[in-house]
Structure 1
Amino acid sequence: MIKAILFDLDGTLLDTNELIYKAFCTTFKEVLGIVLPKGEITNLYGKPLKDSFANYTEDKQIIENLIKTHRNYNDLHHDDMCQPFNGVLELLTKLKEKGIKCGVVTSKRKNVAIHGMTLGRIIEFMDIIISPEDTKKHKPDGEPAMTACEFLGIEPKEAIMVGDSPYDLMCGKNAGCFTCGVEYTTLNINELLKVEPTYMVKNPLDILKLI
């Protein structure tokens, strides 16, 4: 029996896809002087920034500069480019009516995640928010999802981890949760399918059919 749904945040509940894309574009151009294909940039979605930038330089100081530039862009433009996907508020309302616990497992800094969730009016539905500050290991390791389940007092097999990137699905799978990929991802959907998620949904409200 499913007792909880764990959600990735960006690209799953909140439509910040364009914000993240422009943040990466600006960062790579300003710091490294390079312009990357869109597909290469979207493949970085869902990963901790440190891991994403480590693919382009081994210099720790440059990586820190990349992270700082990315975060500065995000902080500056976040509020104008962040809103829930269609159907998200209705989904969360119905899940709570059914007594299903809800949580967010994100690679985003907690203060920024909370701000975006407050802006999008979804924070009131959440029973737990797990961000990188809360665990030693991060996606795709299972620790973040396992930590959320422990807090909620449930077994991982009683939860579904929902996300728009392979890292989200691998996190859920490594924790022992069921997994659900979203077809409205901006990533190559074949990358999600390679992880062999338990479910795939076309829109947020389809998640109701899984419980």
Structure 2
Amino acid sequence: MSAPFPLDIKAVVVDLDGTLLDTAPDLAAAANRMLADLGRPPVPMEVLKTYIGNGVSRLVKRVLTGDMQAEPDPELFDHALKLYQRHYALHVADASRPFPGVREGLEAMKAAGFNLACITNKAEQFTIPLLLATHLHGYFELILSGDTLPRKKPDPLPLLHACEHFRIAPQELLLIGDSLNDAQAARAAGCHIFVVPYGYNRGRPVAELDVDAVVPSLLEASKLIRNAA
């Protein structure tokens, strides 16, 4: 932990996949439906979880290649991405659910007067229906998807945009996420960063990340902050 607690902040930004919601079952199901359409065998959930965290395009590339950074044949990728997006849009919230402590944590932060935002690399066409279906949409004053701005996490732009929106300094904002992407974005923006251990950090332990705290839940995170407004 690199900062004194409780942190004096004015706004809390929360990541979606792996932080707010366990979306892996629906992401995996869409991937395996895509593979079935392509005549390929399914990929186990344990492997698919390590592919989540950099948006749908990168997820599809990893599923096609079995590699975290490799590039598939462009024509195959374009076809596969369309298949994936169709399947995921139809089943975006079949099995996705909030993690334990999420709703309670958001309620506590809202009651304490923090500005709340959701920033995700997921495309808006999936983000909004998913938040609405899981009844989390109403908690957030600002929702930034992966295609809302020109750049997404780990670029600091979405966090700096949130700071401008709430008219606060970067050090007055806390990001709660689950991955290296979140940690890099927060540090680049000059914001505070907590991570949860239950998410999708490409299969790596979050204890390795440069963060202010690893918190077991959003409810526990709410106990480490106070409103500086």
Residues in 2 aligned to 1:200 and 1:30: alpha-carbon distance in whole angstroms: 40
The 1:201–1:118 alpha-carbon spacing in structure 2 relative to 1, beyond 3 Å, is same
* Aligned counterpart in structure 2 of residue 147 of structure 1, from 161, 166, 171: 161
Partner of 1:210: 224
Q: TM-score, normalised by structure 1?
A: 0.88
Query: Counterpart of 1:137 in 2: which secondary structure?
Result: coil
Residues in 2 aligned to 1:161 and 1:76: alpha-carbon distance in whole angstroms: 30
Asked if 2 retains the 8 angstrom alpha-carbon contact of 1:127 and 1:152, the reply is: no
Residues in 2 aligned to 1:14 and 1:108: alpha-carbon distance in whole angstroms: 12
Asked if 2 retains the 8 angstrom alpha-carbon contact of 1:31 and 1:65, the reply is: no
Query: Counterpart of 1:133 in 2: which secondary structure?
Result: coil
State the number of aligned residues.
211
Query: Shift of the alpha carbon at 1:170?
Result: 1.7
Query: Counterpart of 1:180 in 2: which secondary structure?
Result: strand
Q: Specify every segment of 5 or more residues in structure 1 that has no aligned partner in the other structure, as ranges.
A: none
Residues in 2 aligned to 1:139 and 1:133: alpha-carbon distance in whole angstroms: 11
Residues in 2 aligned to 1:46 and 1:144: alpha-carbon distance in whole angstroms: 16
Asked if 2 retains the 8 angstrom alpha-carbon contact of 1:2 and 1:158, the reply is: yes
Larger radius of gyration: 2
Residues in 2 aligned to 1:99 and 1:125: alpha-carbon distance in whole angstroms: 12
Query: Shift of the alpha carbon at 1:99?
Result: 0.7
Instruction: State whether structure 2 residue 5 is matched by structure 1 residue 5.
Output: no
Partner of 2:109: 95
* Aligned counterpart in structure 2 of residue 113 of structure 1, from 98, 102, 127: 127
Partner of 2:30: 23
Query: Shift of the alpha carbon at 1:114?
Result: 1.3
Instruction: State whether structure 2 residue 99 is matched by structure 1 residue 85.
Output: yes
Query: Shift of the alpha carbon at 1:8?
Result: 0.8
- Give the letter aligned to residue 41 of structure 1: L
- Choose 183-192 or 201-210, whichever is displaced more: 183-192
Asked if 1 retains the 8 angstrom alpha-carbon contact of 2:51 and 2:202, the reply is: no
Asked if 1 retains the 8 angstrom alpha-carbon contact of 2:21 and 2:97, the reply is: yes
The 1:88–1:59 alpha-carbon spacing in structure 2 relative to 1, beyond 3 Å, is same
The 1:150–1:61 alpha-carbon spacing in structure 2 relative to 1, beyond 3 Å, is farther
Query: Counterpart of 1:79 in 2: which secondary structure?
Result: coil
Query: Shift of the alpha carbon at 1:56?
Result: 4.1
Partner of 1:42: 49
Query: Shift of the alpha carbon at 1:188?
Result: 6.0
- Choose 9-18 or 36-45, whichever is displaced more: 36-45
Partner of 1:57: 71
Query: Shift of the alpha carbon at 1:66?
Result: 2.5
Residues in 2 aligned to 1:17 and 1:36: alpha-carbon distance in whole angstroms: 13
Residues in 1 aligned to 2:164 and 2:38: alpha-carbon distance in whole angstroms: 40
Q: TM-score, normalised by structure 2?
A: 0.81
- Give the letter aligned to residue 58 of structure 2: D
Query: Shift of the alpha carbon at 1:26?
Result: 3.5
Which structure carries more helix by proportion?
1
Query: Shift of the alpha carbon at 1:91?
Result: 1.4
The 1:168–1:70 alpha-carbon spacing in structure 2 relative to 1, beyond 3 Å, is farther
1:169-208 matches, within 5 Å, as: 169-187=183-201, 190-208=204-222
Query: Shift of the alpha carbon at 1:126?
Result: 0.4
* Aligned counterpart in structure 2 of residue 125 of structure 1, from 115, 139, 159: 139
- Give the letter aligned to residue 118 of structure 1: L
